[in-house]
Structure 1
Amino acid sequence: MHRNRSYNDKSDMSGIRTITSASSDNQDTEVFFPAGMQPFEVAEYLDTDLVIGLSRKQIKRRAAKQGANIIHSEFKLSFMQSIRSQIKGLLGIMLIASSLIMYAFDRQYSYLAMAGAIILLILLNAILESRASSALNVPRKYTAIKATVTREGVTDVADSRRLVTGDIISFSEGMVIPCDARLIEDNLLTVLETPISGARGSAVKDSRFIATEDNELVYANMVYAGSIVTGGQGSGIVCSTGKDTLLRRITGEKADYLPAMLKYIQSSGKYISIVTIIACFALLFAGLIAGRDVANLFIISLSVGAVSLCDSMASLAAGSLGYGAKKMSNHGAVVKNLNCIPKICEINTIMCCKNTAFPPKKMTLNGVYTENTYLPADRKLTDKAKELLYLSLACSDLKINKSYGKKRRGCSAFSGRVYDEAVAEYLSEKGYDVSSDIGEYFRIHTEHSLSGEVNRVLILHGGRNVVVLKGAPEFILSRCSGYELNGTGYKMSQVTRKRILTALEEYSQESGFIIAIAAGETAADNLRDITAERRLMFKGFITLYCSMDVDNASAVYKCSQAGIETVVSSSDSYYTAYNIAKNTGIVTSEKQVVTAEQMHSTDHGLFIANCPDYKLFLNLSDNEWRHILKYRKQDKRIVGVTAERLEELALMNEADVSFVPDSAPDTLKQSADVLMLCSGMDALTDCLQNARLIFIRIHSVAEYLTVGAATIFFSTLFSLLFGLVLPFRVQDILFGGILFNLFFAISLAFTPTNRKLLLEKLPRYKVRPLFRDFFHPLMYSFGASVCIPLIYGITGSFSATICGLTLLLFFYALTNISRTSIFQKKAVANLPLLISLVISAGIMGGLFFFEPVRNIFEYTEVTPTQIGISIAVSGGYFILLQLIKLWLDIKKAKGEKLKESFLPTEVVDSKNITQSEE
């Protein structure tokens, strides 16, 4: 046996450097070089004990000084940081100062109200961003690495974020290392250090190694945060945590990590603010040429800049992202990688394993097939049937809850796999003492399948060693050399095998799940013995009814309607897997099912050609399943995969988006894009819908806020160029351009979901904003800017003008980022948006009809005729624009249809294969 390597023996003092003992609280990182020190030297330097670890007082003091051990940067934005950031923008401050100066010379309350509104807007933005910062860091608590740490002589599992320098931690295979540590001892410890060194292979670690020079990136006696233990085990002393780890120093990540979507919005805001400043100067220049009042024009120009709400755009986007991410976690999906949200919106293929997508909720035993006879569950058990059921339990990980004496409601006497629980509960209902009887089957050796299920055991029963196999009937039958009938063993012939398979096919129609059992006496003392299965006999199979979750079937249907295909990998028997897939709507015929044997026997090129038609894959290896992913991506599919085992790490890395259940190993959870707190296809579908909702909210805000500023700018510019009266005053811009505009923007940032969200065709955006992203809102604004002077020219009323502006903004917000005419696709009902319109109408009512307010802001009463004109012009323009969109959509559809008519029939059929399956 390999002996643990360690270097704790203080009797060997050769090569030990003499250092001055110092507390960890005062350590100098320039002098501290743990790779060149022995473990007890490091312990002495960090004021810790190699056996009992740190004391509670030491931990508390160091945690207060060092902070949380977070090896990946978080998104942090405090209230004051947001205030400072907005002040740097200068535009808002200039508008506040100018408004106050104007109020000092001209006692109009509009100027005072404008200054107050901008101050409140800055505070609102800061509140939104600080709350978003907290919400976006929620995933950290779900994905924190667990560490085995020794403190005050007690070894326990703790949250790695609470580690401090001097802690004694243990490493085991499969764990992600949460900090930089000096090894104390190791036992065949190998670590994958790709995030640190870039090396692909695992590095062998040696606690006895002592570095002589500090000129290497990594050392053999050190382990580093972000690395993965690929083999062996060991222990070490924590030397660096958080931002002091080598990973953080190499990557140079900043503490204010910003997701890509927010970077896009931030860049958009910067570009819009630059354009706005240019627009302000353009208006001033045009006003000077036209001989207008410069002072009034200056404050209006600054107000136009404020209408762009650039800072509010970033704040609303951050608030929307934080709110959406929090809602997703409440629905069972924690988005670890916020940058993957646009990719989630584009997913059109979901590759999942059957356990993650379709977890069985409840199973009941239907019957038992043994000795060529099927025994329904309501019949009395024969001795052979009873033996078959107990052999099934012997080959399982079933646990008996001994505290079940009181039989509390909702509490089960057994815990394990759903089908094992069903067998145990059936025997218990028949009056058998499962906890006592199962003791007659003493387990010697156990083997598990790739999915973690017990599939082979060696037991001691009746004084003899017996090997038991459990699994899919086709697999079990292929391993059996005989079968039993009336207590006598017979050789398994092709006729008998066919008869059993016929019975399987018959009973699989009635039962959703079938488990086959084989057993045989053996002289082997472990399962690695090649002779262990030499006398394996087919014992029979158990049929169980699996209640199908309607939500999962509904989720598959929703995905298929949206053009998202669901592809499933299963290790169940053919008929069990086929029935589940057919009942949930994944497959419609057996032509869409392929087994590993069929794949191997089919010509490789032919299989690749037919691969898009297959939806259910049976008994594929991890490498073969990865090849299916490769073929799907070659077909230009955006693929999301589910993974629950370490062997599927390569599959996750090659997929566009990866989903991992909460029960998965830490390594997978750290590498995943999305952590699923709930299993089931319905949870995956909810995740897709919520990601789309976040995407629509953020980009709708960015596009919409362009409309208000552009409309007021073009309207003012046209009025100056053509010698018209300016259609806006400061108070009009305050209420229509800032207040009502902000109401509608907030409504878009928190748009409610709708059931047709998956069917929405979303526009695509590049990493950085482009002019074409804002082409539609600018075109809308250009037309709207003609409507505003028209309304004022007809009515001569600023009250009617502000009504028209509000309606134009509302109509654009109603369509969010949809590029389709409302005559083809109804506008989604947005209750917050309607409420915002009602509130805006109420405020306008107060401005127009409540005399004290009307006198303060210099408004006049608006007549029904003036309101009608505002509605007619604004609504007419909107309808005309939608009719033009409809005409362009029809023209585009005809062009595509004409193009398809020149394509070969096979190409058209392959493009429409999804619709034909529907």
Structure 2
Amino acid sequence: MLELANGTAHHGLSVHEVALLWETDPGRGLSTGEAAQRLTRFGPNRLPATTTAGVVRRILRQFHHPLIYVLLAAAAITAALSEYVDSAVILGVVLVNAAVGFIQESKAEAALDALRSMVQTQATVVRDGRSRTVTSDELVPGDLVTLESGDKVPADVRLIRITELRVDESALTGESMPVAKDEVVLPTTTPVSDRRNMVYSGTLVTAGGGAGIVVATGAETELGEIHRLVGASERLATPLTRKLAEFSKILTVVILVLAAATFGVGVLRGEAAVDMFTAAIALAVGAIPEGLPAAVTITLAVGVSRMARRRAVIRRLPAVETLGSTTVVCSDKTGTLTENQMTVRTVWTPDGRYDVDGSGYSPEGTLRDARGADVSMDDHVALRWSLLAGAACTDAVLTEEDGRWGIVGDPTEGAMVVAAAKAGITASEVARSLPRTATMPFSSERRYMATLHRDTTASRPGDGVALVKGAVEQVMAQCLGMLGEDGRTRPLDRDTIMGAADELARQGLRVLATAVRPSFESADLTANTLRGNLILTGLQAMLDPPRTAAAGAVAACRAAGIEVKMITGDHLGTATAVADHVGLLDGASDVERMGLTGAEMSALSAAEFTDAAERTRVFARVSPEQKLRLVEALQAHGHVVAMTGDGVNDAPALRRADIGVAMGRGGTEVAKDAADMVLVDNDFATMEAAVEEGRGVFDNITKFIAWTLPTNIAEGLVILAAVVAGAALPILPTQILWINMTTAVALGLVLTFEPKEPGIMNRPPRDPDQPLLTRALVTRILLVSALLVAGSWWLFEWEVAHGAELEAARTAAVNLFVAVEAIYLLSCRSLTRSIWRIGLFSNPWLIAGVTIQIIGQLALTYLPAMNTIFGTAPITADTWLRIAAVTAIAGAVVAVDKGLRRKYGATE
């Protein structure tokens, strides 16, 4: 029977049935001997360790990439040419990239370790009828455990006795408020977030106490199910890594084909095989973009730095670019789109409605009447008593530390304390004028709280005052009248009160009623002494307000073609109200406007679920598995998905998403470890800023590739042309390495610091299926390659024909390559706009890079040591003029091409 009990819907069973199922005594618990046997049978109450690849295998995996293969070949070739410095540089790039990948992969496994650590705690268990403290590892199904305020729940427990028990389940379910628990039997279909008779491993008891029977431990708990989902969620390759892999495969094939063709053509022409092998090596070295990995890494690192300044911390380097390709953002509600600080927005009394401004827990703000005038407490008796009830009938405390305001206690009570403080009713004033003498705490049956106070300001100092706050229906049921602003009591108008409460609730506000019983003479504060004797003073309506910048950020994302969806564990009404406030529902159809709950999603077929994921904008009361399914469904539609979250329940979806975004303030370590990026301030506006930076990163990587490939292609084609023509090589392998390595550092890396172009957020996301290089860019690359081949070949032949030594002619060709690269660099700073529109000095690194390259070229040309190493020779002023002329022609052709594409609307 014990084995069959696993997987049972315990929330649908009575306490007696659960005790029979687990063969335990709900009063005395298990015996010590039985607990030991069950520990052997079921194993320790801990999450299982995950088997991962060994260190050696994970290291070798970092080299399993086509581009890495090409670079390793380049290192081997340059070493074979005795260019050990260049070989070491290329090999160094490979090793650094492998080290970074290994470290990041190791960190990714920390999410599972963090999950395991969540359940390592102490527990109070009853065995043999005696209470004892044990480690959570020792708990077994059937154990009787007791819970008190401040305890971390050690296992999944079916409650059998409670005393005003409230549990913070936000990390597991996303519920923004502590959940009141009871022992009532629930339908078996009740979702986890609504199982009031259960508490789950890893959650936190915030108030009250209770006892229950352990029904699941270790991997069988709800936390264990999330652990399984995290372990099974494969982290996807980013769009950039996928595109680079495809690009690298094509590049590898092209290099091998051209090298083989060079060798074959030369041998067929009767050239020596050794010479042709040297030529083939030269072509291969020329075609390999040695600076590409460094440029990609540095561009991503620059993006990381820029994002950090905008309060977004990147944990995985490739994630920087992924943001720029994002097509859908699945955002959490609480703390991301909202402040995560409950705030009273409206106070209703029988004679008026008052707006409360200000946001969060800061007591700065004012109360205004319907005309917008500031309110004086002396003229509004009912309003004053309603605010007093919120400030005095509470256990919440307003705190300030380093200029930051916060609440110790229930957020709803805290909101009412802050509202009173905005009207000048402070905690110190309440303690002085209305010292508390008795308390009747909130209970799930009564659904209100009451406190008794001694009124030191009354005409008879001994008089007591009872203050009450709670659910509207329950408080109103205890009232005999309602208070006017003139201080007079009038008959209770139930229809008017409920109408006002319903109107506020439709706005997504949480509504509580307040009441007072003056001249309370009884010292016995009970439900009987209050029933029928209260006077309703008003309603206070509150919500977790949307962040100030959230609406603008949502609008910016949608203008950029990025769909924003809300996925939350909170209630649908609250979620849709916030979504409407931030503009998430603008333009949505009626079906989309309603949103979907987790229960409704469970009833959908697979096809219906996929369709709902695409068209619905608000998902509420969702489970961790449903969040994961939503991400997978959107990815199946071809979307690049960014997912935000802060709880344990978010970890599987964060890991599966193309980019997981965790909350830095108040987020769980599990969520942070599973994510690729952490928002320091939890603000959705930071997401929009990060997307903007990500687009800039992708732009700059594309610019570098568009700039470097013409040189690599032209170097290879020049070698091939020389072999086909049976002529001397215009450029030697060592000279090719000089060009590639020096220009990549001095010129190419300048593009990694290029500022974002204007209007970057006004264009749609990049199509995930679009190749790294579009047809227009390929055309431009081939155009510049042709200019380089034709110019360098002509200049080399001119110099030789006019009596120049072979070394001097090659030096001229090398300098021409570098000069054209420099002029083309200016064009590549923007793939669509002219250099005059972006400005010569908008990137200060440009001047420094060009200056360094000029110095390097002069050294290569005129220093004897460099002449000896690289086979160069000094050239004349006339040669420099010819280099300048060819460079100017190449620059003009590229400018005309770009201008024509702008004029006729050709896209890059």
Which TM-score bucket, shorter chain as reference?
0.5 to 0.7
CA distance in 2, matches of 1:519, 1:573: 26
For residues 507-562 of structure 1, the C-alpha deviation after alignment (integer angstroms, 9 at most, x for no partner) is: x9xxxx9986523589xx99999x9999894615589999985x656645643553
User: Does the CA contact (< 8 Å) of 2:707 and 2:828 recur in 1?
Assistant: yes
Deviation at 1:727, TM superposition (A): 2.8
Matches within 5 A, 1:352-431: 352=331, 353=333, 355-359=335-339, 360=359, 363-364=362-363, 366-368=365-367, 376=374, 380=378, 384-393=382-391, 398-401=396-399, 410=403, 412=405, 415=408, 419-420=415-416, 422-423=418-419, 425-426=421-422
Q: CA deviation at 1:682?
A: 2.2
Q: Distance in 2 between matches of 1:554 and 1:134?
A: 37
The 3-state SS of whatever aligns with 1:802 is helix
- How do residues 478-877 of structure 1 correspond to structure 2 at under 5 angstroms? 483-485=482-484, 486-492=487-493, 517-520=512-515, 537=536, 539-541=538-540, 549=548, 555-556=553-554, 558-559=556-557, 561-564=559-562, 642-643=644-645, 659-662=661-664, 663-664=666-667, 674-698=677-701, 705-722=708-725, 726-748=729-751, 753=756, 756-759=759-762, 763-764=766-767, 766=769, 775-776=778-779, 779-780=782-783, 782-784=785-787, 785-793=789-797, 797-810=809-822, 820=832, 822=834, 830-832=843-845, 835-850=848-863, 853-854=866-867, 857-863=871-877, 864-877=880-893
Structure 2 unaligned spans of 5+: 1-14, 20-24, 125-134, 142-152, 160-171, 173-189, 193-197, 202-214, 340-358, 454-463, 518-523, 598-611, 801-808
The answer as to whether partners of 1:815 and 1:827 remain within 8 angstroms in 2 is: no
TM-score normalized by the length of structure 1: 0.60
- Structure 1 residues 590, 87: CA separation in 2 closer, same or farther (over 3 Å shift)? closer
Alpha-carbon offset, residue 783 of structure 1: 2.3
Q: Which residue of 1 aligns with 2:92?
A: 123
- Corresponding residue for residue 265 of structure 1: 244
Aligned residue in 1 for 2:441: 444
What's the CA shift for 1:712? 0.8
Per-residue CA distance 1:623-682 (angstroms, 9 max, x = gap): 9x9999999999998775655678889998998866453435677667766543322232
Q: CA deviation at 1:789?
A: 2.0
Distance in 2 separating the partners of 1:272 and 1:343: 23
Distance 1:356 1:684, change over 3 A: same
- Which residue number corresponds to residue 91 of structure 1? 73
1:281 alignment counterpart: 260
Structure 1 contact 659–676 (Cα < 8 Å) conserved: yes
1-structure distance, mates of 2:371, 2:632: 45
Partners of 2:324 and 2:697 within 8 A in 1: no
> Take 2:282 and 2:477, find their aligned partners in 1: how far apart are those partners?
80
Structure 1 residues 759 and 148: CA distance shift in structure 2, 3 A: closer
Query: Pairwise mapping of residues 150-229 of structure 1 onto structure 2 (< 5 A)?
Result: 168=137, 187-188=157-158, 223-224=218-219, 228=223
Which runs of structure 2 are paired with 1:42-81 in the superposition (5 Å)?
Answer: none
- 1-side partners of 2:586 and 2:216: how far apart? 57
Identity of counterpart residues, as a percentage?
Answer: 12
Contact map agreement 1:519 1:537 (CA 8 A) in 2: yes
Q: Secondary structure at the match of 1:445?
A: coil
Q: For residue 496 of structure 1, report the CA deviation from its aligned partner.
A: 8.3
2:449 maps to 1:458: yes
Q: Secondary structure at the match of 1:459?
A: strand
Q: Give the secondary-structure state (helix, strand or coil) at the position aligned to 2:441.
A: strand
Deviation at 1:622, TM superposition (A): 6.3
Contact preservation (8 Å) 2:469, 2:513: yes
Write out per-residue CA displacement over residues 854-875 of structure 1, whole angstroms, 9 at most, x where no aligned residue.
Answer: 5654222352512421321321
d(CA) in 2 for partners of 1:265, 1:128:
14
CA contact (8 A) 1:645 1:665 kept: yes
Pair 413,286 (structure 1): closer, same or farther in 2 beyond 3 Å = closer
CA contact (8 A) 1:354 1:569 kept: no
Distance, in Å, in 1 between the alignment partners of 2:653 and 2:110 is: 25
SS in 1 for 2:86: helix
Distance verdict in 2 for CA 1:700–1:441, change over 3 Å: farther
Q: Distance in 2 between matches of 1:665 and 1:526?
A: 41
Considering only aligned residues, what root-mean-square deviation do their CA atoms show, in Å? 6.9
Deviation at 1:843, TM superposition (A): 0.5
Matches within 5 A, 1:875-914: 875-886=891-902, 888-889=904-905
3-state SS of 1:715 partner: helix
**Aligned partners of 1:534, 1:644: CA distance in 2, in Å?**
45
Greater shift in the superposed pair: 867-876 or 626-635: 626-635
Which letter maps to 1:275? V
**Aligned in 2, Cα 1:283/1:325: closer, same or farther, shift over 3 Å?**
same
CA 1:400–1:272: 2 relative to 1, 3 Å: same
Structure 2 length-normalised TM:
0.61
Letter in 1 for 2:84: A
Change beyond 3 A, Cα 1:813–1:269: farther
1:728 Cα offset (Å):
1.6
CA contact (8 A) 1:91 1:305 kept: no
Quick one: distance in 2 between partners of 1:349 and 1:724?
A: 56
**Aligned-residue offset at 1:844:** 0.8
Q: Secondary structure at the match of 2:387?
A: helix
Distance across 1 between alignment mates of 2:72 and 2:648: 52
Q: 1:889 and 1:75 mapped to 2: Cα distance?
A: 52
Structure 1: gaps spanning 5 or more residues: 17-33, 43-49, 51-67, 101-113, 156-165, 173-182, 194-199, 208-219, 232-244, 449-454, 600-610, 894-918
Q: Which amino acid aligns with 1:9?
A: T
Residue by residue, what CA displacement relative to the aligned partner does 1:256-285 show, whole Å, maximum 9, x if unpaired?
x97674365345435423432332222223
The question of whether the paired residues in 1 share the 8 Å contact of 2:702 and 2:772 is answered with no
Secondary structure of the residue that 1:859 maps to in structure 2?
Answer: coil
Paired residue type of 1:733: I
Q: CA deviation at 1:816?
A: 6.0
Query: Partners of 1:634 and 1:96 in 2: how far apart?
Result: 44
Q: Which amino acid aligns with 1:492?
A: D
Equivalent residues of 1:367, 1:542 under 8 A apart: no
Give the AA of the match of 1:885: R
Relative to structure 1, is the Cα distance of residues 685 and 860 closer, same or farther in structure 2, using a 3 angstrom cutoff? same
Partners of 2:795 and 2:526 in 1: CA distance: 88
For residue 345 of structure 1, what is the aligned residue in structure 2? 324
Deviations 1:866-903 (A, max 9, x none): 2421321321232243244335525x89xxxxxxxxxx
8 Å CA contact retained: 1:286, 1:720: yes
TM-aligned CA distance change 1:378 to 1:770, over 3 Å = same
Mean CA deviation greater in 114-123 or 744-753: 744-753
Per-residue CA deviation, residues 109-148 of structure 1 (Å, 9 max, x unaligned), is: xxxxx33222232124323442454467667778962525
Task: Classify 1:144/1:822 alpha carbon distance in 2 versus 1 (closer, same or farther; 3 Å).
Answer: farther
CA distance in 2, matches of 1:135, 1:752: 27
Q: SS where residue 32 of structure 2 aligns?
A: coil
- Between the aligned partners of 1:440 and 1:373, the Cα distance in structure 2 is 39
The structural deviation recorded for 1:376 is 2.9
One-letter amino acid matched to 1:562: A
The answer to whether the Cα contact below 8 Å between 1:514 and 1:573 also exists between their aligned partners in 2 is: no
Q: Give per-residue Cα distances to partners, 1:412-441, cap 9 Å, x unaligned.
A: 585575855643644667684356658467
Cα shift at 1:36: 5.0
